[in-house]
Amino acid sequence: MTPGVRPLIAGNWKMHGLAADGLALARAVASGAAGLKAEVLLCPPATLIAPLAQALAGALALGGQDCHEAAKGAHTGDIAAAMLKDAGATYVILGHSERRMAYRETSHRVRAKAEAALAAGLIPVVCVGEPEDDRLLGRAEEVVAEQMTESLPEGFGTAGGVVAYEPVWAIGTGKIPTLSEIEEIHASIRELLHEYMDEEHANLVRIVYGGSCNATNAKSIFALPNVDGGLVGGASLQLDSIKEIIASI
Ligand code: PGA
């Protein structure tokens, strides 16, 4: 954990959740969330942001899982940052590897989306992480550095932007890097942040870990230097797991 930084536990529900179950889960996560050490953020499907915002009345932060880089226009099926904000979101996940792969989102596009998020007053959670081949070739740090350089917009630090390190091969697989591998990449991300912004902001950017983070491994991951919380997929859909993960910070 980074001294002086409030950690963040973000649940990425991906394409899971209808109104009844989503509301019940969010309410259960919110009960007991007051006074927690970590800020808790839920990123449900976009259809649930408004009802959750109404039901939770600020007890937890809410975020989108993607936004378009344009403020509005003829983009069938897409969602603008201002729409997420209007529905009650304060954050938006951008550049998740599932989107980088399925929709061929480049880092340049991720940066454009992050700029749109900032313009709409949303805090971007920018995901970076290497595919397995690059890890095996010893190129993890290099790939992450390239994604960082190309994805982060101006003003990211001052707006409270979050970097999520999510090795692609660890997402939904039950595999995680060793603790020292996580520590190394997070340290390299912190170092890069110092190249892009002033010292104060570089020290305050939260760098969260994602990829098969669960109730068993969370405590040891969160104890590492420069790990300021987690971006949790599968385990955030189970009440017991997400509560335990939140409590392990
Ligand atoms: P996982 O997903 O926790 O299910 O591995 C994390 C993510 O994709 O953000």
Q: What is the pLDDT of residues 93-111, one digit of tens each?
A: 999 999 999 999 999 999 9
Q: What is the mean pLDDT of residues 170-188?
A: 98
Known catalytic residues are 96, 166
Of all protein residues, the one whose alpha carbon is nearest to atom 3 of ligand 1 is 233
**Interatomic CA distance for residues 245 and 229, integer angstroms:** 9
Buried b (16+ CB within 10 A) or exposed e, 4-22: eeebbbbbbbbeebeeeeb
The pLDDT of residue 1 is above 90 = no
Single out the residue of 161, 167, 179 nearest to residue 220, CA to CA: 179
Which atom of ligand 1 has the smallest separation from the CA of 211?
5
For the Cβ of 232 lying below 6 angstroms from any atom of ligand 1, the answer is: yes
Total Cβ atoms within 10 A of residue 150: 15
For residue 121, how many C-alpha atoms fall within 13 Å in the half-sphere facing its CB?
9
Alpha helices in the chain (DSSP H): 19-30, 49-56, 81-87, 97-102, 107-119, 132-136, 140-151, 179-196, 199-204, 218-222, 239-247
Q: Which pLDDT value is given to residue 32?
A: 76
CA of 53 to the centre of ligand 1 (A): 23
For the Cβ of 166 lying below 6 angstroms from any atom of ligand 1, the answer is: yes
Q: What is the mean pLDDT of residues 126-150?
A: 98
Decide: 12 and 96 in contact? Cβ < 8 Å.
Answer: yes
Which atom of ligand 1 has the smallest separation from the CA of 173?
5
What's the pLDDT band for 33 if we cut at 50, 70, 90?
A: confident
Decide: 54 and 94 in contact? Cβ < 8 Å.
Answer: no
Query: What percent of the chain stands above pLDDT 70?
Result: 100
Single out the residue of 10, 6, 128 nearest to residue 61, CA to CA: 10
What's the pLDDT band for 122 if we cut at 50, 70, 90?
A: very high
Q: Which pLDDT value is given to residue 84?
A: 98
- Which of 15, 171, 236, 241 is the pocket-test mutation for ligand 1 (most atoms within 8 Å of CB)? 171
For the Cβ of 241 lying below 6 angstroms from any atom of ligand 1, the answer is: no
Of all protein residues, the one whose alpha carbon is nearest to atom 6 of ligand 1 is 233
What would the pLDDT profile of 3-16 be if each residue is shown by its tens digit? 889 999 999 999 99
For the Cβ of 245 lying below 6 angstroms from any atom of ligand 1, the answer is: no
Of all protein residues, the one whose alpha carbon is nearest to atom 2 of ligand 1 is 233
pTM of the predicted model over 0.85: yes
CA of 237 to the centre of ligand 1 (A): 11
Which atom of ligand 1 has the smallest separation from the CA of 170?
5
Residue 42 bridge partners (DSSP): 11, 62
What would the pLDDT profile of 205-249 be if each residue is shown by its tens digit? 999 999 999 999 999 999 999 999 999 999 999 999 999 999 999
